[in-house]
Amino acid sequence: MKIGIVGLGLIGGSLAKAYKKAGATVFGFDQDRLITAFAKLADAIDDELGEAQYEACDLILLAIPPVPAARWMEEHAPKLPASALVIDCCGTKRNICEAGFQLANQYGFSYAGGHPMAGNQFGGFKNSRADLFEGAVFALVPPDHNDLRFMEKAKKLILPAGFSKLVITSAEEHDKIIAFTSQMAHVVSNAFIKSDTAIDMGVSVSAGSYRDFTRVAYLDAEMWTELFLENRDNLKHELDVLIAELSKYSKALENEDAPEMCRLLKEGRERKIEVEKQCS
């Protein structure tokens, strides 16, 4: 198996290490040539990915943000062979999939949208690791949901990196769900830590919930800004729902309304139980 990876940050670097661990030949490229050289020195890649390697690759993964990923496909599409399967690893899917499907149809290569559902609050190749995707889910947006042969091929190429399964979705459904499950967590964590109490509390008396809740406040501001704005309709809807719910708790406190506070807390607990039952 021969894998090409564009972008050798946390996700791309971890994919490279995972595929190398699985015995694949890995070609990698990062716009920072020092990172490409270091990845080769660290034995995360066998060689640099260039046009000469496209023909040999069974799979080319674009582990870069949506706008650069679309730009890479537009620039390299005429040089990609019909045998090439290109999958992006972007955190939002609607814009990149629209561009990818159009270019694939125009130039005759295979493309699908993808999203490895794993990460770390600390980015960069230095924080990448071979086991990052162990047991994780890979969300796939195929060009045709009825093309079982295509999805079987994608599965055989993706799972060796450690993923437990593929989840087939549409770009629209992916972006709607990811606004709630991932983007909201980053926004809320990032806003929560801005309380003056976080600085003033001195000796920490926090428990695990504080550490867990603020973990993703460590984020790449430029990357997440791009993802948030690309998915602004879905993310704004979720934020508006949250703000409306929080206002109920605030009002209960202001009014010293114990029954209402208790009702709100029970309502949240019951919703959590309902969600867990659906997921089991």
- pLDDT tens-place string over residues 59-96: 999 999 999 999 999 999 999 999 889 999 999 999 99
pTM of the shown model? 0.89
Report the CATH superfamily, name and number, of domain 174-279.
6-phosphogluconate dehydrogenase C-terminal like domain (1.10.3660.10)
Number of H helices, E strands in the chain: 13, 8
Q: Give residue for tokens 């993802």.
A: 227
Specify the pLDDT at position 153.
Answer: 94
Asked whether the beta carbons of 29 and 51 are under 8 A apart, the reply is no
What ranges do the domains of the chain cover? Answer: 2-169, 174-279
Tell me the pairing of strands 59-62 and 47-48: unpaired
**Matching fold, domains 2-169 and 174-279:** no
pLDDT at 204 over 70: no
Asked whether the beta carbons of 179 and 238 are under 8 A apart, the reply is yes
Asked whether the beta carbons of 2 and 24 are under 8 A apart, the reply is yes
Q: What percent of the chain has pLDDT over 70?
A: 98
- CATH 3.20.20.80: does it fit domain 2-169? no
What is the tens place of the pLDDT at every residue in 5-57?
A: 999 999 999 999 999 999 999 999 999 999 999 999 999 999 999 999 999 99
- Is the model more confident about 215 or about 270? 270
Specify the pLDDT at position 208.
Answer: 77
pLDDT at 259 over 90: yes
Asked whether the beta carbons of 115 and 91 are under 8 A apart, the reply is yes
C-alpha to C-alpha distance for 30 and 7, rounded to whole angstroms: 5
Q: What percent of the chain has pLDDT over 90?
A: 84
Task: Show Cβ contacts of residue 227 under 8 Å, excluding neighbours closer than 6 positions.
Answer: 65, 66, 90, 91, 92, 183
Specify the pLDDT at position 94.
Answer: 96
C-alpha to C-alpha distance for 263 and 61, rounded to whole angstroms: 48
